[in-house]
Chains A and B, each alone.
Chain A
């Protein structure tokens, strides 16, 4: 019997045989909780919070640049929000994960990717939580365009990185 010689990894890229190999429970429940966290803050304060503004607002403590100083009024609670995110994840890790988990993704990818994420979210007015959760939840055309833009570019980038054999 003949087999068409298509590399297995190519098949997986084009059409995953199993789109959710780890099920959908963890993703759906986790997503609902992420939304709930944003909603709790919104109900109490009217603030539609995003995670990336913390980067700029926190820099206002150490830099006099006008771009950062515009976030003086919100910088304190944004630190609290971020500490909450870290602690909430730590609660999960202690109760369900058992031990500390560390990534195998290479440090240079995290560093260079981080620089681009830092520049891009701030120029682009939001990240996966600001645009992706609160903005899309607000049916904001700007946020939907933002999400489509970064999602498309990220998919192309990740596929190229994989095709070049960079792993992990």
Chain B
């Protein structure tokens, strides 16, 4: 990330967030009930949301690096979202899965849920920040566990 940010950097992030949040609300993913309906096989529409979004982003991730080297607003090299695989992906994924299946909420959809007036979702905000804080404290004290990553991507 460049130190001197382009003046359009923050406005662009805001516009991207607006479209992202509008899409979450339009798809009804901002309603925990609809997510739970998917997980309980009542309405499988969520498949279209995740695949639709992944296909669109996949096209950009595949095409942009061939067209240009660097992004105009940051000078960052265009790359893909690749994270090293380790045990934490499975452990964290499983913990996230229990939370998602219990509540029907995930971070992006929870933010969007606040936007559609769902003040009850603030319980989930309190929970998510508490959870992120707990893991952050724990991992700040045990940095050694971070070194076991292997490059699977």
Contact = CB atoms under 8 A, between A and B. Distances in A.
A33 B27 CA distance: 9
A37 B25 CA distance: 13
Interface of B: 1, 8-10, 12-33, 36, 39-61, 64, 70-74, 76-85, 88-121, 123-137, 139-140, 143, 152-153
Contact of B39 (A55, A82, A159): A159
A16 B37 CA distance: 11
Q: Is the interface of A mostly helix, strand, loop or mixed?
A: helix
Contacts, number: 555
Nearest to A161: B102
Given A90-B115, A123-B91, A138 B58 contact: yes
Interface in A13-69: 13-14, 16, 19-24, 26-52, 54-56, 58-59, 63, 65-68
A45 to B, nearest CB: 5
A61 B82 CA distance: 27
Contacts of B106: 51-52, 117, 121, 127-129
Nearest to A104: B33
